[in-house]
Structure 1
Amino acid sequence: MTYRLTDIDCVSARGHSALGGTLAIQAVWRYDRAVDLAALEHFHEALRHGRLGRAVAPAMIPAAGDRWTTRVEFSPLEVAEEPIASGDLEAWIAEQGNAELRTFGGPAWRLAATHLDNGESVVSLLVSHTLADGHAFCTAVTDAVADKRLDLSYRTDEFGRIRLLAGDLRDAARRARSLPSAAGLALRLAVTGRGGGTGTAGDAPDFRLPTVTATVPAQLWHAAARARGGTGTTLAVAMMTAIATEVGRTDEEGRVRMMMPVSTRTADDLRANALTSIAFEVDVHDGAPADLAPLRAVMKEKLTAAAASGQDVPPLIPVAVALPRGRYARLARQAATDPASTVCSSLGKLDPEILRIDGSPASAMMIGLVNQSLDARSVVTERGGNLYVALVEAAEKITMRVMGFHPPALLDTEQLTELVRSALAEYELSATFW
C-alpha cells in the first residue's frame, strides 16, 4: 500500500498547519428522538478501522512528501452531559466545527453527540479535509455503518529513523526537477512576505463566519429545476449566483466567478482527496431564473473537459511540496485569498445507509465545509470574503449548508438567511432553516 501522500494531500496537510486552523468536513445528523449511544460507540470504533484510521506523519526531508501512518491518536466519542436548548443548535454545531483537529498525528477527526431540550438529538462528525474529500468522507461513513473494516497498514510504521531518512532522500531526489522552481518561489515569497501580518486586533472575540442550514423537499427542488431546463446542481449554482450578484461578489462586468469541485475518484481508490475543479463565469441576467438551460450547457461543457483531462495536477503543486516548511504560511495565505469566487459543492444523492449511523435513520442530515482559520472578521476580510454552499440529497430532502461574508453587504447570519430565502423564492421554493 502506498505510504506517501499524493502531492495534493501533502499540500493540504501543510497548508492547514501553516494557516493555523484545519480545513474540515462536518456532517451533522438530526434526530426527532434520542440517539442510540451504544450503537454510536460501535460506529465510532468502526470509523477507527476504516479510511479514517490514519493520520499524517511529517517527512524528515520535506521535499520527499509526508507519509501516512496508522500510529495515531483518536478522540473518544464525546457526549454532552446536559441537553442544549433547541435555539442553540447552530451554536453547538459551530462549537463542534471548531474543535481541535491535528492532521499530523491525530486526532484528525471527532465524533460528538448531544440531546436537545425538545427531545431531539444531534450528532456531529468533523474530519480533516486532508483525510477525506466529500466522497471519501461519505464512503468512510457508509463503510462504518456496514462495519466494513479496512485496517490500513503502512510498512513505514515499522521503519527506524535511518531507514525513513533513506526513503526520504530517495524520494526527494526523484523530485529534483522541482527544486529549482521551489527555490525561486521561496525567494519570491521571502521578498514579498516582508512586513506582512495577520493581526486580529479589534476583532470581536465571538466572531463566527455567518452560516445557515436550509432544507427543501427534494421532489420540489428537482421539479423546479426541470421546469426551467436545468438539473438540481444547475439550480444550486443559479441560486448562489443570485446571492453573489446581490452582495456584489462579482467581476467588473457584474459576472459571478463560480467554482465547483469535481471528483476524479475511481473504484477502490484510497486517495484522501481525488478532486479537480471547474471554473466558469455566470451572468445573472443570462436567462435565470426563467431558463436554466444556458447555464446547464456551460456546466456540461466544463464538466466534459474536466473528465477528458483526467487527474491533471496543477504545476504549482509539486513545486509547493518541495518548498521549505517555513515558506508555507505565505504561500497558503496567497492561495486562500480570493475576493471574487463563489464555490458550489454538490455531493448529489447519498446512499440511504449514511443516515443509519446509530442503526436507524436520522430524520435529516447536512454536510458542510469548516475553515477553522477563518476565526476573525479581519482574517476573512483580508482573504477576500467568502461565499460557499455544500448541498446533499438525503432523507428525501435537499439540505444546503451555506456560509458567506462579503463586506459591506453580507456581514451576519440574519442577512445570509434572507439572501437564501429570497434566492429560493425566485424559483418558487421555500426552505426550513435549522
Structure 2
Amino acid sequence: MNRLSVVDEMFLRAHRGMGTPIALQGLWRTADPVDTELVERIHEALRVGPLGRRVIGARVPGARPRWQQTAWAHPLRISEQPIPAAALLDWADAQGGDLDPALGPGWRLSATALLDGGSVLSLTCSHALADGRALTLAIDHALAGTPLAAPIAGQSDWADARRQWATVLGGTARALRRGLPARPAPATERNVVLAADYTGPATRSAILQIPAREWNRVAVAHDGTANSLFVLLIANMLWDSGFPAPSLAASLPVDTRDEPRVDNDMAMTEIAITRADTPSTLRRKARAAYEHRMTSPGGIPEELLQVIPDRWAHALAKGAGERDILCSNIGTLPDSLLSLGPHPCTGVAARAIHPGLRADTLPRTRLSGYLTRIADTYTLSLVSLDPEAIPTAAALTGLAHKSLAELGLDATNW
C-alpha cells in the first residue's frame, strides 16, 4: 500500500536516530569477474523497480506518511581495486551508510572484485523500505522480471486521518472500558563493559554454508524442523559465548504477506528457550508463538504510534521486538538468484546490518541469525552485537563451527 505501516514507521524512526539502525542486505558471490555492463543493467532495473520510492510526510494531523515513487538512486558503486576474500564481509558491512528512505535514495548497489578472481555484489536498503522477504522479491523482479502485486491505492490525507483517528479513539475507548492498561515494561538495558579507549566496530559478521540434506537430516533426527534447528543453534551459540542466564528470549519474525509485495509485511513473536530445549520442543514452542504475535499493551491500538509525535512513539515502543537473540528464517530464495547473467553464484546470502551503530548504544539483542536456502544449500548469516563476548569475526566464526559440530554438522566459510 502507499501509506506507511506501523512497522514501516518504527524502522523510519530508527533511521532518524531513535532506535537501532537497520539495513537489509543481499550478497552474491561469483567465482569469476562480473562485467560492469551487467551490473549496470541490474542497477537500472532496481532504479525503476519497487525499491525506488521515498517517504512523503502528510499535511493533515493523524494522516500517515505515504510512499512516492522516485527514480533517483545512488550511483553504482564499484571498487577500483580488488580486495582479499578475507576482507569480503568488512567491505559488505560498509555498504549500508548514507541510505535515506525520506530524502532518498534508500538503497544502494555495490560491487567489488576479489583477489582470487571472483567478485561480490551487494544490494543494501533501509529496513523502512523492505523486510528480508521483500528484498528477495525486489531482486527477483530486477533479475528475472517476476511480477509483483500491484500497490494498493491510497486515500487522501483527510480520509486517511479520519480513518486513523477513528481507529485510535475507538480502540482506546474500548480498551479503557476494560480498565487502565498496565504500563509497558521498560526495554531491557545492556550493561556493556568495554575499555574506555575501545574504538572497534559494534558488530562482527560471519557467513557459512551447510548442505541442505545434512541440515534437514539432523533436524528430522531430533524430531524438529529446519527452523527449530536454526533457533536452537543461535541459542547455543549465545550460551557458548558466555551468556550467563539459564534461559533466554528469542524474537522470531513472521512473514505475513499473502501476495508478493515489496514492503514490511511482517510481525514479531517470541519464545523462551532453556538449556534443556531441543529442536523438538522448540518446534512446539514456535508453533504456539506464531499464534500469539507481539501486540501493543492493554489492547491499545498500535496505530496510536502513528498519530503522536515521533519521540513519544519511540518512548512507547522502545525496544519493541528486541530480545536476547534474533532468529530470522528468510526462507527459500528464488532460483533467479543462482546466477548473475552468465556467471553462476558460489554463494548467496541475505541478512541485516547496522550502519552507524556505536558500541556504547547496543540494543538488547546480542546475536542475530539469518537463514536462507537456495537449491541444495542453507546459508547462515550471523551478526554479533556483543563486542565484549565476541571480539572478532574469527571468534564468531569459530563459535558457529563449535555449535554446529555439537549438532553433528559441518559448514564451509564464505
TM-score by length of 1: 0.80
Q: Which residue of 2 aligns with 1:296?
A: 283
Q: Does 1:207 align with 2:206?
A: no
Give the corresponding residue for 2:102: 104
Distance 1:101 1:356 in 2: 26
Aligned match of 1:196: none
Identity of aligned residues (%): 28
Residue aligning to 2:354: 371
Distance (Å, rounded) in 2 between the aligned partners of 1:217 and 1:249? 29
CA contact (8 A) 1:207 1:377 kept: yes
- Match among 261, 264, 274 for residue 256 of structure 2: 264
> How far does the alpha carbon of each residue in 1:225-282 deviate from its partner, in whole angstroms, 9 at most, with x for none?
122222211111111121122335465xx112122111110125x3611111221112
The CA distance in 1 between the partners of 2:60 and 2:303, in whole Å, is: 14
Deviation at 1:366, TM superposition (A): 0.8
Give the whole-Å Cα distance in 2 for the aligned partners of 1:169 and 1:217.
51
Corresponding position: 1:405 with 2:393 = no
For residues 200-227 of structure 1, the C-alpha deviation after alignment (integer angstroms, 9 at most, x for no partner) is 9956444240111111122221122122
Answer whether contact 1:368 1:401 (CA < 8 A) is retained. Answer: yes
Change (3 A) 1:353 1:320: same
In the alignment, structure 2 segments of 5+ residues that lack a partner are 174-182, 187-193
Q: Does 1:351 align with 2:345?
A: no
Q: Greater share of helix residues, 1 or 2?
A: 1
The C-alpha deviation readout for 1:408-431, integer Å capped at 9, x for no partner, is 533332332222111001112122
Q: What is the CA deviation profile of residues 110-159 of structure 1, one whole-angstrom value per residue up to 9, with x for unaligned ones?
A: 00001011101000000111111111111111111123577988989xxx
Q: 1:410 to 1:27 in 2, by over 3 A?
A: same
In the alignment, the residues of structure 2 paired with residue 180 and residue 201 of structure 1 have an alpha-carbon distance, to the nearest angstrom, of: 47
The residue correspondences of 1:406-425 to structure 2 (distance < 5 A) are 406=386, 408-425=388-405
- 2:93–2:355 CA contact under 8 A, matched in 1: no
The corresponding residue for 1:11 is: 10
Change (3 A) 1:392 1:153: closer
Unpaired runs of at least 5, structure 1: 157-162, 182-187, 193-199
Matches within 5 A, 1:235-384: 235-249=229-243, 251=245, 254-268=246-260, 270=261, 272-286=263-277, 288=278, 292-303=279-290, 305-306=291-292, 315=300, 317-327=302-312, 330-331=315-316, 334-335=318-319, 338=322, 340-374=323-357, 376-380=358-362, 383-384=363-364
SS at match of 1:118: coil
TM-score by length of 2: 0.84
- The number of residue pairs the alignment matches comes to 396
1:184 aligns with none
Q: Which residue of 2 aligns with 1:136?
A: 134
**Deviations for 1:354-384, whole angstroms, at most 9, x for unmatched residues?**
233435431111111112242x22111xx33
1:31 Cα shift? Answer: 0.5
1:169 Cα offset (Å): 5.6
Output the aligned Cα RMSD.
3.3
Distance 1:342 1:250, change over 3 A: farther
Q: Is the 8 A contact 1:364 1:395 kept in 2?
A: no
Structure 1 counterpart of 2:189: none
What does residue 117 of structure 1 align with?
A: 115
Q: Does 2:38 correspond to 1:58? A: no
